[in-house]
């Protein structure tokens, strides 16, 4: 429809009938997939007073169209009778008008979202759909003439959007053919001439720009007896003066300005709220404070990665440290926070390009000035932070590739990162491996949540609860919340409830929060072969294990088992034990056993335990004088020592 009316089926152009039958088809296409009343079809066909037979004639034209449309390969439901008229069904991609509107809308959405290159592509694709004037060479009734004028206005609006986008992107030369063609067709449309003049100036043709101004001024004077508008006159004067502001201008105005912010304003409100129940971590906070103080001078920014197992309190530590550093008057100008969602099952890991766009908008960059792509946004982000005392908290990082573009480049900046994974691939960063709370800190957390009177009345019970939770902050917090909401429970009684490892995970839950849910994302993010080793390790009879005993348990070569253990260590799902051995946090061990019982067949669980027991007996037999009954399961060659002399796993 965006040119002479054409119906094409299987690459062949179909004859769609005479002018009046084509007018009926055009009216139906303009309202595709909607019922068009017969009287509106009559208005689309006749110019002036329709004949008495108009309704009957429309029925005849519809019958003719059905014969044409049957050749498109569709049965009779393509054009159906539906009171009070007819409905023409059109599928996505079949009508150029629909494609035009979709591309136009998509381009505007991209432009408003700051992705200008994508907007320019969509706008250009929409323009290329036009083959001339809509329904060109057809004699149209009054209703269709109004629709053609509307479509022409949409085309001009699209051209303006496309021109503005290309001017922002520095692609003025690409605009000139389309602008010249449309300006010639619409000689009184000052917006087109304005953009044509600016594009000519941008490509180094100021004389041609002034000539274009003289042409439109003459047209306006001859046909309307008026002078050009203020904007067009002002642009011509600026071109004559070689105004430097035109080098980055759109529509004759300076380029996009930063959005105003109040004097002295910062973005500190984007740090999450600190919590009053935060307990302990004095040494870690002191260390982070010292690193913040060192973020001055030199040539590199300061970045600290806080690593540790799920639920150990990495986010709370980073937020508390950020607030403490801010209160000391450091980094008062810019303070930014981003949740990167590596372990949040409700979200996909954050795209660094999206995070950078958010940061740039918070730093006052208008949406239209945000570059496309991660690299361009990262470069602008670093430029915006140059010379500014900026503090960034990047929480729950998935991997090195996600956070590299988000790190500032100025030595006056400080970045605090948290991750469940060991981000060994980040160069030049300080590392803080966060462990569980010490017994005194764990008791302090219980006192803050449950109440000092209840906890101090039975300190031994509080110590047992802390021990059952393994000092893990998320477990301690859930235990304390349960006691807080159950005033009738005694700490001693609750400690007994936590005594059974199988029951402990069920007890450490409260509504939508639980220790198991905290661990689950780390487990589910593992490759399948690593998940299998993890859950089978939950069945290991000993509290510590080596690569050799893990190999026997899983029925894999020792080298593969050692690689899996080191992988789980980097994921903070295992811990180092003395003498090169490995172990679980007690609650992670209970969780591993839980998923093993849920996902492994009973026969496989029994076989795995049988393999490791058999391996242990054989290892004892190879030690002269050793009593297998006294040999701890998992004893044998340490995990990281040489592999010579290790027993082969029992199949």
Kindly report, residue by residue over 402-455, the tens digit of the pLDDT. 999 999 888 888 999 999 999 988 888 999 999 999 999 999 999 999 988 898
Most confident range, picked from 73-82, 175-184, 289-298, 538-547:
538-547
Averaging pLDDT over each range in 92-101, 112-121, 314-323, which range is the top one?
314-323
Asked if the structure places residue 275 within a domain, the reply is yes
Mean pLDDT of 236-255: 66
Mean pLDDT of 533-556: 92
Q: Are 188 and 201 in contact (CB under 8 A)?
A: no
pLDDT band at 627 (very low <50, low <70, confident <90, very high): low
Three-class SS state of 49: coil
Q: Which residue did the predictor score with more confidence, 327 or 353? A: 353
Note whether residue 261 is domain-resident.
no
Q: 83 versus 307: which is more confidently predicted?
A: 307
Strand partners, 302: 414
> Per-residue confidence at 318, pLDDT binned at 50, 70, 90?
very high
Q: Which of 42-51, 349-358, 451-460, 463-472 has the lowest mean pLDDT?
A: 42-51
In this predicted model, what pLDDT tens digit does every residue of 39-51 receive, in sequence order? 888 888 876 678 8
Instruction: Report which DSSP code applies to 637.
Output: S
Do 81 and 196 fall into the same domain? no
Same domain, 224 and 276: no
Q: Counting Cβ atoms within 10 Å, is residue 87 exposed (0-12), middle (13-18) or buried (19+)? A: middle
For residues 282 and 408, membership in a common domain is answered with: yes
Range with lowest mean pLDDT among 104-108, 317-321, 571-575: 104-108
For residue 250, the model assigns a pLDDT of 41
592, 534 in Cβ contact below 8 A?
Answer: yes
Last residue of a domain, one of 513, 536, 563: 513
230 located within any domain: yes
Q: Are residues 303 and 452 in the same domain?
A: no
* Cβ contact 270:249 at 8 Å: no
Asked if residue 424 and residue 284 are part of one domain, the reply reads yes
The rounded distance, in Å, linking the Cα atoms of 132 and 192 is 17
Strands (E) located in 350-422: 390-395, 414-419
pLDDT greater than 80 at residue 359: yes
Contacts of 378 (CB under 8 A, 6+ apart): 352, 356, 405, 406
Q: Do 239 and 353 reside in the same domain of the chain?
A: no
Q: In whole angstroms, what is the distance from residue 197 CA to residue 194 CA?
A: 5
Quick one: 6 and 130 in the same domain? yes
Same domain, 597 and 482: no
User: How confident is the model over 141-150, as pLDDT tens digits?
Assistant: 666 777 888 8
Domain hosting residue 611, numbered range: 526-630
Above 90 in pLDDT, residue 340?
A: yes
Q: Is residue 520 part of a domain?
A: no
Question: Lowest-pLDDT range, 71-80, 133-142, 170-179?
Answer: 71-80
Q: Is residue 209 in a domain?
A: yes
Contact 350, 285 (CB under 8 A): no
- Same domain, residue pair 193 and 339: no
Mean pLDDT of the chain: 83
Are 596 and 502 found together in one domain? no
Is pLDDT of 320 > 90? yes
CATH number of the domain enclosing 249: 1.25.40.10
The whole-number pLDDT of residue 294 equals: 78
Domain assignment of residue 492, yes or no = yes
Q: State the CATH number of the domain containing residue 619.
A: 1.10.10.10
Same domain, 234 and 207: yes
CATH number of the domain within which 342 lies: 3.40.50.300
Q: Is residue 518 part of a domain?
A: no
Choosing from 199, 232, 256, the residue where a domain stops is 256
Alpha-carbon span 586 to 583, nearest angstrom: 9
Sole residue written with tokens 């391996």: 615
User: Does some domain include residue 637?
Assistant: no
Same domain? 275 vs 420: yes
- For residue 603, the model assigns a pLDDT of 92
Q: How confident is the model at residue 104 (pLDDT cuts 50, 70, 90)?
A: confident
Given 433, 452, 468, the domain boundary residue is: 433
How many domains does one find in the chain? Answer: 5
């Amino acid at each position: 429809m965006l040119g002479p009316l054409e119906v094409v089926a299987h690459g062949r152009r179909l004859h769609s009938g005479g002018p009046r039958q084509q007018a009926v088809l055009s009216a139906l296409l303009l309202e595709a997939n909607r019922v068009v009343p017969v009287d509106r079809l009559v208005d689309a066909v006749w110019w002036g007073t329709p004949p008495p037979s108009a309704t009957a004639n429309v029925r005849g034209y519809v019958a003719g169209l059905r014969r044409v449309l049957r050749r498109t390969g569709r049965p009779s439901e393509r054009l159906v009778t539906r009171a009070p008229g007819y409905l023409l069904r059109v599928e996505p991609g079949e009508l150029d008008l629909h494609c035009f509107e979709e591309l136009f809308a998509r381009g505007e959405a991209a432009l408003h979202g700051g992705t200008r290159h994508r907007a320019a592509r969509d706008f250009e694709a929409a323009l290329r759909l036009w083959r001339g004037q809509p329904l060109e060479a057809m004699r149209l009734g009054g209703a269709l003439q109004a629709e053609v004028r509307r479509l022409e206005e949409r085309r001009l609006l699209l051209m303006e959007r496309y021109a503005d986008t290309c001017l922002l992107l520095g692609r003025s030369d690409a605009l000139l053919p389309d602008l010249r063609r449309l300006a010639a067709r619409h000689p009184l449309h000052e917006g087109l001439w304005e953009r044509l003049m600016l594009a000519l100036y941008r490509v180094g043709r100021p004389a041609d720009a002034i000539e274009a101004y003289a042409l439109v001024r003459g047209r306006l004077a001859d046909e309307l007896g008026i002078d050009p508008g203020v904007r067009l006159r002002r642009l011509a004067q600026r071109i004559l003066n070689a105004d430097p502001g035109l080098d980055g201008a759109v529509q004759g105005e300076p380029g996009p300005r930063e959005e105003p912010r109040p004097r002295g304003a910062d973005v500190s409100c984007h740090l999450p709220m600190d919590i009053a129940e935060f307990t302990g971590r004095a040494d870690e906070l002191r260390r982070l404070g010292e690193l913040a103080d060192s973020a001055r001078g030199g040539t590199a920014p300061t970045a600290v990665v806080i690593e540790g197992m799920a639920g150990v309190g990495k986010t709370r530590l980073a937020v508390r440290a950020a607030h403490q550093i801010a209160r000391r008057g450091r980094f008062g100008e810019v303070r930014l926070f981003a949740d990167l969602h590596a372990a949040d099952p409700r979200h996909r890991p954050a795209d660094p390009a999206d995070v950078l766009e958010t940061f740039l908008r918070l730093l006052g960059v208008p949406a239209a000035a945000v570059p496309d792509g991660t690299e361009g946004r990262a470069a602008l982000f670093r430029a915006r932070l140059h010379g500014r005392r900026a503090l960034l908290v990047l929480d729950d990082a998935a991997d090195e590739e996600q956070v590299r573009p988000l790190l500032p480049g100025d030595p006056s900046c400080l970045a605090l990162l948290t991750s469940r994974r060991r981000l060994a691939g980040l160069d030049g960063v300080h590392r803080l491996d966060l462990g569980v709370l010490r017994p005194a800190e764990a008791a302090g957390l219980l006192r803050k949540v449950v109440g000092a009177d209840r906890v101090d009345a039975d300190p031994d019970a509080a110590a047992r609860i802390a021990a059952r939770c393994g000092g893990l902050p998320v477990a301690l917090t859930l235990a304390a919340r349960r006691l807080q909401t159950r005033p009738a429970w005694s700490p001693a009684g609750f400690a007994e409830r936590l005594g059974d490892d199988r029951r402990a995970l069920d007890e450490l839950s409260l509504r939508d929060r639980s220790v198991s849910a905290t661990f689950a994302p780390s487990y589910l993010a593992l490759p399948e072969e690593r998940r299998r080793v993890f859950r089978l390790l939950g069945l290991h009879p000993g509290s510590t294990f080596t690569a050799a005993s893990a190999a026997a348990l899983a029925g894999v070569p020792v080298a593969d088992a050692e690689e899996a253990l080191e992988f789980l260590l980097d994921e903070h799902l295992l811990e180092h034990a003395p003498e090169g051995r490995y172990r679980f946090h007690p609650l992670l061990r209970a969780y591993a056993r839980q998923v093993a019982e849920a996902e492994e067949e009973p026969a496989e669980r029994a076989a795995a335990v049988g393999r490791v027991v058999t391996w242990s007996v054989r290892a004892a037999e190879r030690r002269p004088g050793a009593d297998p009954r006294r040999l701890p399961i998992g004893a044998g060659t340490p995990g990281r020592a040489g592999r010579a002399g290790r027993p082969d796993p029992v199949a």
